[in-house]
């Protein structure tokens, strides 16, 4: 029987008690009930709860589409912003080669997550010598960043291979019936997948939004979903609170918040988790940060950032707690060699695997940060495989929903995201924003 990811709270002792955590976790079973019954806030966005079962009907179609794009092209540009790209990027980084040039699978590049002119110009230069396809991800087709990228890239691709050939290389992942991208796809005959109405962007990695780019790179989407399904069985209807890691995590982080720890730092000891942390930051920041509430999500890559942010974490304001995502087994092996001269004084490490050094750095960091007043939650992951990445995704999603309900906010909306857009549209003189434009220009004058 395979191990599962698990949670370790040993290094939160002295800050919060096990009894407190279990008590709040038990109280939070009512939030599981609300999720499963669809009676809580945001209950029209709960489709992600059953995705591990529901998405299986689309496996063949997703895999066939990925195979077809790989047969036509060597590179795919995936266009999307927020949850429309972070989930796929997180999984590809976790499962792929640490050195991008060494990845032998289909080349994936992301666009539409920035309006930076240099980025898009550099991308167009790169694509001049590439045989590429496009996967455009947008529910509406009018979100500014991806819409601009798609307009530019679609024109570039059509100029390069012709409109008819380009249509065979473009896939749209969008609304089932409405929106600008759906209309474009219908008019041009693009292959399409649907973003379910009841799944928000940051919870969409187990839909075609995340699974098509992952399949394009040759990774086993079935293993990922299998891992998520196992975690669903462990968490979604498990009201034995002390054995439900999602309830324990949600309870622990909220108790730490109540004790004055307002910032949670996601810590990975492998660069492969960098974008998992970025996905996590969006998931928790967008779900909890509203009504003057929420824990601020930050992230570091150790040991790298121990030589920069480590100083603040050790001795700065005592508003921080950390969640270490600890990977037990690496996928590759390096042993430190013996040297006769020992000029670097590393012979005491000779014969040891690099992972042993890394794990001891992790343990030493936890002890140091504990001594400095920083509680540490530890999420233990057996290895970075598709199966365990699937577990991690579902674990974080359901814990996020429960945590949002503990905070008494709607974890499935993001009203604050619209504020910058309204100002930007007014400054760009978008039709319908004339009055807002006038007020902003008076404010800026």
Q: Which of 80, 79, 76, 51 is nearest to 65 (CA)?
A: 76
Question: What is d(CA 154, CA 170) in angstroms, rounded to the nearest whole number?
Answer: 8
Residues in the chain: 445
Tokens 């990845």 locate to: 103
Residues β-bridged to residue 353: 335
Residues β-bridged to residue 192: 172
Q: Which of 64, 293, 421, 439 is catalytic?
A: 421
The DSSP bridge pattern shows strands 6-8 and 376-383 to be: antiparallel
Q: Token pair for residue 365?
A: 């960091």
286 carries an active-site annotation: yes
Whole-number Cα distances in Å, 179 to 195, 356, 428, 433: 12, 52, 22, 21
Q: Which of 177, 307, 332, 340 is catalytic?
A: 307
178 carries an active-site annotation: no
Q: Which of 232, 264, 286, 288 is catalytic?
A: 286
Q: Which residues are catalytic?
A: 286, 307, 421
């Amino acid at each position: 029987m395979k191990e599962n990811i698990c949670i370790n709270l040993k290094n939160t002792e002295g800050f919060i008690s096990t009894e407190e955590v279990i008590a709040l976790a038990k109280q939070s079973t009512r939030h599981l009930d609300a999720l499963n019954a669809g009676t809580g806030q945001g209950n029209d966005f709960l489709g992600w709860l059953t995705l591990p079962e529901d998405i299986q009907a689309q496996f063949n179609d997703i895999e066939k589409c990925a195979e077809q794009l790989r047969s036509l092209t060597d590179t795919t540009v995936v266009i999307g912003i927020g949850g429309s790209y972070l989930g796929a990027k997180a999984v590809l980084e976790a499962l792929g080669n640490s050195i991008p040039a060494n990845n032998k699978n289909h080349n994936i590049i992301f666009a539409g997550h920035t309006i930076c002119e240099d980025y898009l110009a550099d991308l167009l230069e790169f694509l001049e010598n590439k045989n590429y396809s496009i996967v455009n991800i947008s529910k509406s087709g009018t979100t500014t960043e991806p819409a601009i990228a798609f307009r530019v890239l679609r024109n570039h691709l059509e100029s390069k291979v012709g409109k008819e050939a380009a249509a065979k290389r473009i896939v749209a992942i969008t609304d089932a019936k409405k929106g600008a991208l759906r209309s474009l796809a219908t008019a041009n005959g693009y292959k399409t997948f649907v973003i379910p109405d009841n799944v928000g962007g940051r919870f969409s990695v187990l839909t075609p939004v995340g699974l098509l780019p992952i399949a394009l790179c040759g990774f086993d989407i079935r293993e990922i979903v299998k891992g998520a399904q196992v975690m669903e069985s462990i968490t979604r209807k498990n009201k034995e609170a002390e054995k439900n890691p999602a309830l324990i995590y949600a309870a622990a982080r909220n108790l730490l918040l109540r004790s004055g720890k307002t910032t949670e730092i996601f810590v990975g000891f492998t660069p492969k988790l960098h974008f998992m942390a970025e996905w996590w930051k969006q998931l928790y920041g967008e779900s909890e940060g509203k009504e003057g509430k929420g824990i601020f999500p930050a992230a570091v890559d150790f040991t790298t950032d121990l030589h920069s942010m480590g100083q603040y974490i050790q001795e700065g304001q005592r508003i921080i707690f950390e969640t270490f995502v600890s990977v037990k087994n690496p996928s590759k092996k390096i042993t430190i060699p013996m040297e006769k001269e020992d000029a670097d004084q590393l012979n005491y490490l000779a014969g040891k695997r690099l992972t042993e050094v890394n794990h001891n750095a992790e343990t030493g960091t936890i002890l140091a940060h504990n001594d400095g007043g920083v509680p540490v939650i530890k999420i233990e992951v057996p290895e970075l495989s598709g199966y365990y990445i699937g577990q991690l995704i579902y674990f974080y999603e359901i814990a996020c929903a429960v945590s949002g309900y503990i905070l008494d906010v709607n974890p499935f909306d993001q009203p604050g995201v619209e504020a910058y857009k309204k100002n930007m549209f007014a400054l760009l003189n978008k039709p319908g924003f004339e009055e807002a434009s006038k007020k902003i220009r008076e404010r800026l004058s």
